Structure 1
Amino acid sequence: MTRLRAARRPSIWFEIVLIAVSYAVYSLIRNAVPEQRAQALDNADWIWKAEQFLGIAVEDTVNRAVNSVTWLILTMNYYYATLHFIVTIAVLVWLYRRHPGRYAATRLVIFATTGIALLGYYLFPLAPPRLMRGESFIDTVQVHQTVGSMASGNLADMSNQYAAMPSMHIGWSVWCGITIAALATPLWVRLLGVLYPVGTLIVIVCTANHFWLDAVGGVVCLGFGFALSYGWYGKLSYRLPRQIKAPGPAPGTHRPDALAGRSATP
């Protein structure tokens, strides 16, 4: 018999510290992984050839076409730089407040997804399309001097530029999308949940930050996260109870004295 672990709402301060520390550790480990530039560029060539073999190597065409529309590519650059964090944190807060019984299991999914991604960064360093050798990709952040991105410009030295596989922009956005679509009540919010990872996929390709196959890697990592959460809690996180209810009296037990004293009138 599968043992279902109790779902409960953790302390808010514990969650704040956990998320802050976890992200700091994730960033530290991700950026401490040896960049292995030559290997990352070789792997990018291999990915590009694999996509050409599969007939899906259209990222360069899409990248150049969207870059010709300045307002559109600027919007995508800021989308890439900001929503990845803002939406994920917002969904975590919403889960904590509105679905406390499902929070811990659902949070475990994204933490496990991110953890396995670190292994991918170490084992398979990968240059993003914008850094490939001899290809016609455009680094849209560099060209348009978009502020705030860790991908290019002066902030690039603070982040490992060869950690494109798997794409956590996709891993996190698909987690957000599934969570919103599964648990939100208004139809329009659920539709936004579906559209968010689709929009993210378009953005990461148009800005030349990822290949299609990086997105596949992100989804695979997310699958691992769901599997771990299922194994730990015994059910999918979205099928856990909304909240823990106070246990009632066991069947066949006497009612409390205050109620038992109300005897029926003959």
Structure 2
Amino acid sequence: MGDTTVTTLEGREAAVLPPVADETGRGLLRRLRTPRRPRLWFEILLIAVSYWTYSLIRNAVPEQKAEALRNADWLWKLEHHLGLAVEESINHTVNGVTWLIVGMNYYYATLHFIITLAVLVWLYRSHPGRYAATRLVLFATTGVALIGYYLYPLAPPRLMTNTTFIDTVLVHDTWGSMASGDLKNMSNQYAAMPSMHIGWSVWSGLTIFALARTPWVRILGLLYPAATLVVIVATANHFWLDAVGGLICLAFGYTVARLWYGALPYSLPRTVPKPRTAGRGRAGGCPPAAAGVKEQHISSDSNRPTEDGHPPARPRTRTKP
């Protein structure tokens, strides 16, 4: 079959090439992997639904108490074998300073959510081009953690029966943990591995350190996960090996984002250009093709002779004095 031809106003024929087959699947994938400007309503809905789903799945994992306690005993013996079983001494030492341990209880209960959401809002407002990729890291990290809760139930140190760990929330009667006191029935008691307090805090700290401009803010970004590690150990909510599990999950999240977007989130452009309006051409709002035909029509009319056979009048050009 030959190429289609179109007759223009000048009577000339222009070849119109057949449309190139649009690889719909590949084009859609390319669009999905291209950073775009986030939409506020969608992000609020996505975060709310994702956290609700995370909590639902986490708490739906069977509370395998016997296996969780066995795993905790094994982990505690492993740390002793490594000579790094420091959690019990830290727990007792910090518990002796009432104002400090009470502050850590509230730290454990609140900053985990406040800082993470604050970093997401900051990314949305100041780094829209990096927002989706950095959010993907957080979501992938949290998603793979759910697998850990299911495959490896683990009791926190404060629930172990053959140790002297102190449940600081109960002892000091503070509201400080969904896994202690009156709120314990709302959360899975045996989902300590991996620690998402560490996964989320390191994600927040790295994001702040990589993208913040103020030096002292960047330093605070690094200190935040370090402080979180001390808090989860001092309150007997986690072993330090749970923190290692959280870091492994975070590394998985960064790998997913790197493969999807082709670069680490922090190396992507800070902003995303606004999409161009389709169908806009030259002045007057004409599409490019129509504008071309219009110009061609005017040009041809200017070369036609008048009705009396005289050549068309040429426009005069003014010369500056």
Measured against aligned partners, the alpha-carbon deviations of 1:204-225 in whole angstroms (never above 9, x if no partner) come to 0000000010000000000000
Which of 80, 89, 113 lines up with 2:117 in the alignment? 89
Task: Supply the RMSD in Å over aligned alpha carbons.
Answer: 1.8
Counterpart residue type for residue 251 of structure 2: G
| Percent identity between the two aligned chains | 71
Q: Give distance in 2, aligned partners of 1:245 and 1:32.
A: 42
Q: Is the 8 A contact 1:7 1:243 kept in 2?
A: no
1:166 alignment partner in structure 2: 194
In the TM superposition, residue 257 of structure 1 has moved relative to its aligned partner by 7.6
1:157 and 1:105 mapped to 2: Cα distance?
35
Moved over 2 A (4+): 245-248
Are 1:209 and 2:234 counterparts?
no
Instruction: Output one character per residue of 1:15-39: Cα deviation in whole Å (capped at 9) or x when no partner.
Output: 0000000000000000010010000
Distance in 1 separating the partners of 2:86 and 2:255:
32
> Residue type of the partner of 2:143?
G
Match of 2:93 in 1: 65
Secondary structure of the residue aligned to 1:166 is coil
| SS in structure 2 of the partner of residue 121 of structure 1 | helix
Task: Name which of 17, 20, 27 aligns with 2:55.
Answer: 27
Between the aligned partners of 2:37 and 2:228, the Cα distance in structure 1 is: 30
Say if 1:247 and 1:34 are closer, same or farther in 2 by CA, change over 3 A: closer
Does the CA-based 8 Å contact 1:173-1:197 persist in structure 2? yes
**CA separation in 1, counterparts of 2:210 and 2:194?**
24
Cα deviation digits, residues 48-93 of structure 1 (max 9, x gap): 0111111110100110011010000001000000000000000000
User: Which residue pairs with 1:38 in the alignment?
Assistant: 66
Matched residue type, 1:143: V
Aligned residues of 1:150 and 1:158 also touching (Cα < 8 A): yes
Which of 205, 215, 236 is the equivalent residue of 1:187?
215
Q: Any idea what SS the aligned residue of 1:171 has?
A: helix
Q: Which runs of 5+ in 2 are unaligned?
A: 1-29, 277-281, 285-318
CA distance in 2, matches of 1:74, 1:247: 51
Alignment of 1:91-170 (within 5 A): 91-170=119-198
Equivalences, count: 251
Distance in 2 separating the partners of 1:149 and 1:132: 17
Distance 1:241 1:87 in 2: 24
The aligned residue for residue 80 of structure 1 is 108
Partner of 2:17: none
Higher helix share: 1
Relative to structure 1, the CA distance from residue 206 to residue 135 in structure 2 (aligned partners, 3 Å threshold; closer, same or farther) is same
**Mean Cα displacement is larger for which, 141-150 or 156-165?**
141-150
Deviation at 1:124, TM superposition (A): 0.2
Q: Paired residue for 2:14? A: none
After TM superposition, the structure 1 stretch with the greater mean CA deviation from structure 2, 146-155 or 160-169, is 146-155
Gaps of 5+ in 1: 249-255, 259-264
The residue that corresponds to 1:251 in the other structure is none
CA–CA separation in structure 2 for the residues paired with 1:31 and 1:247: 42
Structure 1 counterpart of 2:232, which letter? I
Counterpart in the other structure of 1:223: 251
- Hey, what does 1:262 align to over in structure 2? none
Q: State the distance in 1 between where 2:112 and 2:64 align.
A: 26
Q: C-alpha deviations, 1:147-194, integer Å up to 9, x for none?
A: 252121110011001000000000000000000000011011101100
Q: Structure 1 residue 94: deviation in Å?
A: 0.3
> Relative contact order (C-alpha < 8 Å, sep 6+): which is higher?
1
Q: Aligned to 1:45, what secondary structure does the other structure show?
A: helix
> How far does residue 244 in structure 1 lie from its aligned partner after superposition?
1.9
Counterpart secondary structure, 1:199: helix
Q: What's the offset of the Cα at 1:126? A: 0.2
Indicate conservation of the 8 Å contact 1:29/1:118, yes or no.
yes
Residue pair 2:169, 2:176 contacting (<8 A) in 1 also: no
Asked whether the equivalents of residues 102 and 238 of structure 1 are also in contact (C-alpha less than 8 Å), the reply is yes
Match of 2:82 in 1: 54
